[in-house]
A and B are shown apart, each in its own frame.
Chain A
Amino acid sequence: MKQNDEKGVPMSSTSICTNSQTGCHFLSLANLFDRVIHHSARMHGISNDLHSEFELYFLPSKNRVSRNCHTSTILTPNGKENAQRIAREELTEVILKLLLAWRDPLWHFHQNMARHHKFNNLSSNKSLEMSEMVHELRKGVQKVAEKMQMLGIISNSLGTLGSREALLASDSPEWRLMNDYNLLYCFRRDSNKIQNYLKILKCRIVPEHGC
């Protein structure tokens, strides 16, 4: 059966490009995008699993009012039009902010889980993997951003501003107040955002490679 493994990196993108340098760069950029998208999809999957598990075993009280994710301070487009309307740099910045904002909370979450044995081993491994992935994904997206900047796709206005906001968000003690369930809920959503934004970004920048 003819099948195309489209979940992974398309094979065509790995071919040696003999085009102009720009073409090659675009090819590799699409490749990079695919990788980070794949990475983010995996991260979201893990968070989804953890959330479901948490919901199953640790039945949260009805008192889930404070669904107040600490990343709510980060303005994110919450619609397709918004996401398409937003500039590439902003979108990239949003992604980076989100990833940065979740670095510490996930780490502490994992520590908390491991210390108190709230999860089984499998879930504990997932939490660890989740915290690591967010770290690596951020690096990956940074690479993508750098490449885009190098290619002139986005301006160089990226950087300091985003990180500052992100730092603010991460420094806010709000996330420490979140209970575990809320944290998982929030992260599940944010990982979905990241994945979606990356897809949008890719299809805006390199639409001819599998969009």
Chain B
Amino acid sequence: MRLEMSSNRQQRLCVAMMRNVGGVIVLSLLLVFVQLAAGESFSPPGTPKNIICRSPEKETFTCWWEPGSDGGLPTTYALYYRKENSDTVYECPDYKTAGKNSCFFNKNDTSIWVTYNITVVATNALGRAFSDPVEIDVVYIVMPNPPEEVTVTVIEDTNWPFLRVSWEPPEKADTRSGWITLIYELRIKLENEDEWEVHPAGQQKVFNIFSLRPDSTYHVQVRCKPDHGFWSEWSGTTFVKVPDYFPRERSMWILIAVFAAFIILTFTFIWLSYMKIHNLKHYVLPPVPGPKIKGFDKKALKNGKFEDIFSSLVVSDFPPTTSNYEDFIVENLEVFVPEEQELIMEDSKDLQDDSIKSENSTCDNDSGRGSCDSHTLLIDKGGGDKEEALQSDQEGSQDERVPTSPEEVMEEDLLACCDEKNSPDISEKVKFTPSLISPLPRYNLMNQPNPPEIGKKHCLSDSLLNPDSLPSYFTQPPSTKNDFRSNPWECNFNHKQHPLHPQTTGKEHLQVQNEISWVHVDRTEASLGVQAPSVRSTEYVEVQRVSGGNMVLLHPVSAGQENSGTMSHQTEHYSRVKTVNNDSGLLLLQKESTGEEMGICLSEEEVESRATSNGYTASITPTSEKPMVGINSTLPILDDRMASGYVDTATMFGLPTY
């Protein structure tokens, strides 16, 4: 029994032990399973990825791959490659040189311009994994090493230091033989900054950097790249310290100078503005002196009066520019009043020799007092009614006119002939003032003392008279005998109005037209005729007026008049007409004083010269015989008797003398 009990016990122990062992086994198995579930699984390796091949110098190259999972098992990697157009599979010759997971192809194994087909295989206990094949051509996978020996120096030759960066190509890259051509690039930045300034440098190995900031540190790096390839890594940073320098900038000084000048100019302008602009303007631009000549009066222009218009233009001494010759009427008319004439003539003696004496053409045979001098004929601007009357008459026609009064006579125009002569001698005589030239105050002919004063007889010089001006004048110098010679060169304007003179009832008007230079003598009345010729062979023609048409109105001095003693007086003054100019008529009148010699003031040559000019107005001394004398462009008809004292123009010109 006990046995039975012990066996039972033993059986129970065994069962317990067996249970323990089983539990342990189960536990261990469980543990193993648990472990297996939690830890790596063994599997075939993962595929290698990202195979990268690079060649630093185009002579060798290296490939790197990225291994995949190894499957928990030791995995081996192998690289296999095939060359172009060849099925031979080669394995990487060198797994070590380039490190883990790399394959290095040395020069012998490297062929340029050959396509490599590279595959990496991962192998482990469970399997293999093939990577994707990669085709490369070494030419296109060149990535050189960074440039070496990068040196940066500060060049301080000038005021502006700059950096000179120099480097060398990587050692392995054979640029000398032309196998590889590298291009470089550098970058620089200040120490504190983050951004680099990149400068491509081409194939050169030196580079300058300017515009540096003084007293600062720069970082410089360089890299390179082959023609077709990859950029190298940046070289190691080179530090450079730029010294402190003062930028003595020349341009800065220039800028300062310009600015200062600008400020100075500004202040100058402000100062000038404070000054009176008026003063300144006067200082800078002095006022232009005004014209002395009045010029045209605009108001007068509007009015349309010529006299007014031109009055401003005319200088007092200057001959008037009025076209109306009648304004030239001699102010002083030589009134042919025998008695008076004598008196006047007396007075006129006082006149200077060179004064122009106008004398009435008191038909003085002897009135050779023609002044010889002036070759020009001046027509005074006479004033007065006479003139106007005469004008009107004259203009209207060449008809005869009868002067109404001595006053009128006085106002007859005189032709001034002398250049230098001035001042009509006798007031009563027709004074001739160079009315052509200048307007002279009109005179009352009766008030003769004035004439000498007037006397500005201007003898028109040739220059003064234009061809169109009246050239001719008739002078009849009924001057005194005494004066006749005394003043041979006096130019006298005689014109006397014969009509005034009782003796001269008729007037002969000589109208001389200058241009035409013909003298048309009208004898208005035949009353002249009687005595005039007898008294003198020559009759003096008085110039009555000078018409605007350059007509000289002449009326002969009757011989009878001349007979009077006044003639003698008048002979003192005789005028000789000198031709004004070539075109003007030559009018020579001389009154030959009785018995007195008459100098021919006018030299015959002169006369001739003048006579030769075109158109002459003949001085006509019409004789009473002929009521009408017409003289055409040639000339003056002189009495023979007068010839001695007169310029026998007729002879000169071949005209018949009357």
Chain A positions near chain B (C-beta within 8 angstroms): 1-7, 41, 44, 48, 67-68, 72, 76, 78-81, 83-84, 189, 192-193, 195-196, 199-204, 207, 211
Q: CB distance A199 to B206 under 8 Å?
A: no
Q: CB distance A4 to B202 under 8 Å?
A: yes
Known: A79-B107, A192-B139, A195-B227. 7 other contacts (CB 8 A): A1-B207, A4-B204, A5-B202, A68-B85, A79-B112, A80-B174, A196-B178
Q: CB distance B181 to A199 under 8 Å?
A: yes
Q: CB distance B113 to A1 under 8 Å?
A: no
Q: CB distance A2 to B179 under 8 Å?
A: no
B151 to chain A, nearest CB (A): 16
Closest to B179 in A: A80
Q: Is B208 an interface residue (CB 8 A)?
A: yes
A201 to chain B, nearest CB (A): 8
- Report the bound CA distance from A83 to B179 in whole Å: 9
Q: Is B115 an interface residue (CB 8 A)?
A: yes
Contacts of B209 in A (CB 8 A): 1
- Report the bound CA distance from A76 to B111 in whole Å: 11
Q: CB distance B112 to A78 under 8 Å?
A: yes
Closest to B199 in A: A1
Q: CB distance B85 to A72 under 8 Å?
A: yes
Closest to B206 in A: A2
Q: Is B381 an interface residue (CB 8 A)?
A: no
Q: Is the interface of A mostly helix, strand, loop or mixed?
A: helix
Interface members, chain B 283-315 (any A CB < 8 Å)? none
Closest to A192 in B: B139
Q: Is B201 an interface residue (CB 8 A)?
A: yes
Closest to B164 in A: A2
- Report the bound CA distance from A169 to B84 in whole Å: 19
Partner of A203 from B84, B111, B112, B176 at Cβ < 8 Å:
B176
Contacts of A48 in B (CB 8 A): 228
- Report the bound CA distance from A193 to B227 in whole Å: 12
Closest to A81 in B: B107
Q: CB distance B204 to A3 under 8 Å?
A: yes
Chain B CB count within 10 A is highest, among A48, A193, A203, for A203
Q: Is B114 an interface residue (CB 8 A)?
A: yes
Q: CB distance B85 to A6 under 8 Å?
A: no
Chain B CB count within 10 A is highest, among A5, A83, A199, A202, for A199
Chain B positions near chain A (C-beta within 8 angstroms): 58-59, 84-85, 107, 110-115, 137, 139, 174-179, 181, 199, 201-204, 206-210, 227-228
Contacts of A189 in B (CB 8 A): 113, 137, 139
Please name 14 pairs of A and B residues whose Cβ atoms are closer than 8 Å in the assembled complex, sorted by A: A4-B203, A6-B202, A76-B113, A78-B112, A78-B114, A79-B111, A80-B174, A81-B107, A189-B137, A189-B139, A192-B139, A192-B228, A193-B113, A204-B178
Q: CB distance A67 to B85 under 8 Å?
A: yes
Contacts of A78 in B (CB 8 A): 111-114
Q: CB distance B59 to A211 under 8 Å?
A: no
- Report the bound CA distance from A79 to B108 in whole Å: 9
A150 to chain B, nearest CB (A): 22
- Report the bound CA distance from A83 to B174 in whole Å: 13
- Report the bound CA distance from A6 to B202 in whole Å: 7
- Report the bound CA distance from A68 to B206 in whole Å: 44
Q: CB distance A200 to B113 under 8 Å?
A: no
B565 to chain A, nearest CB (A): 119
Contacts of B204 in A (CB 8 A): 3-4, 6
- Report the bound CA distance from A193 to B228 in whole Å: 12
Q: CB distance A7 to B179 under 8 Å?
A: no
Closest to A65 in B: B85
Given A67-B85, A67-B115, A200-B179: A6 touches B203 (CB 8 Å cut-off): yes
Q: CB distance B203 to A7 under 8 Å?
A: yes
Chain A CB count within 10 A is highest, among B110, B113, B176, B201, for B113
- Report the bound CA distance from A84 to B174 in whole Å: 12
Which 5 A-B pairs rank lowest in CB-CB distance, beginning with the nearest? A203-B178, A199-B178, A6-B203, A4-B204, A2-B208
Q: CB distance B178 to A202 under 8 Å?
A: yes
Closest to A210 in B: B203
Contacts of A200 in B (CB 8 A): 177-179
Closest to A202 in B: B178
- Report the bound CA distance from A192 to B141 in whole Å: 13
- Report the bound CA distance from A5 to B207 in whole Å: 12
- Report the bound CA distance from A1 to B202 in whole Å: 13
Contacts of A41 in B (CB 8 A): 227
Chain B CB count within 10 A is highest, among A6, A44, A79, A193, for A79
Q: CB distance A204 to B112 under 8 Å?
A: no
Chain A CB count within 10 A is highest, among B114, B139, B175, for B139
Q: CB distance B177 to A84 under 8 Å?
A: yes
Q: CB distance B174 to A211 under 8 Å?
A: no
- Report the bound CA distance from A83 to B178 in whole Å: 11
Given A78-B112, A199-B181: A211 touches B208 (CB 8 Å cut-off): no
Closest to A199 in B: B178
- Report the bound CA distance from A200 to B175 in whole Å: 10
Contacts of A44 in B (CB 8 A): 228
A27 to chain B, nearest CB (A): 18
Closest to A7 in B: B202
- Report the bound CA distance from A5 to B202 in whole Å: 7
Given A189-B137, A192-B113, A211-B177: A1 touches B203 (CB 8 Å cut-off): no
Closest to B227 in A: A41
Partner of B202 from A3, A80, A84, A199 at Cβ < 8 Å:
A3
Given A1-B207, A7-B203, A67-B84: A80 touches B113 (CB 8 Å cut-off): no
Contacts of B228 in A (CB 8 A): 44, 48, 192
Q: CB distance A80 to B111 under 8 Å?
A: no
Contacts of B207 in A (CB 8 A): 1-3
Contacts of A83 in B (CB 8 A): 179
- Report the bound CA distance from A2 to B321 in whole Å: 87
Closest to A68 in B: B85
Partner of A3 from B107, B201, B210 at Cβ < 8 Å:
B201
- Report the bound CA distance from A185 to B178 in whole Å: 24
Chain A CB count within 10 A is highest, among B59, B84, B112, for B112
Q: CB distance B179 to A196 under 8 Å?
A: yes
Contacts of A196 in B (CB 8 A): 178-179
- Report the bound CA distance from A79 to B112 in whole Å: 6
Contacts of B203 in A (CB 8 A): 4, 6-7
B472 to chain A, nearest CB (A): 95
Contacts of B107 in A (CB 8 A): 79, 81
- Report the bound CA distance from A67 to B178 in whole Å: 28
B132 to chain A, nearest CB (A): 11
Q: CB distance B208 to A1 under 8 Å?
A: yes
Q: CB distance A204 to B177 under 8 Å?
A: yes
Contacts of A67 in B (CB 8 A): 84-85, 115
Partner of B59 from A3, A76, A79 at Cβ < 8 Å:
A79
- Report the bound CA distance from A72 to B111 in whole Å: 14
- Report the bound CA distance from A8 to B203 in whole Å: 11
- Report the bound CA distance from A4 to B206 in whole Å: 9
- Report the bound CA distance from A162 to B181 in whole Å: 28
Q: CB distance B178 to A79 under 8 Å?
A: no
- Report the bound CA distance from A195 to B115 in whole Å: 18
Contacts of B179 in A (CB 8 A): 80, 83, 196, 199-200
Contacts of A80 in B (CB 8 A): 58-59, 112, 174, 177, 179
B58 to chain A, nearest CB (A): 7
- Report the bound CA distance from A158 to B32 in whole Å: 80
Closest to A79 in B: B112
Q: CB distance B112 to A211 under 8 Å?
A: no
Chain B CB count within 10 A is highest, among A41, A80, A202, for A80
Contacts of B208 in A (CB 8 A): 1-2
- Report the bound CA distance from A14 to B139 in whole Å: 32
- Report the bound CA distance from A192 to B206 in whole Å: 28
Contacts of A5 in B (CB 8 A): 202
- Report the bound CA distance from A72 to B86 in whole Å: 13
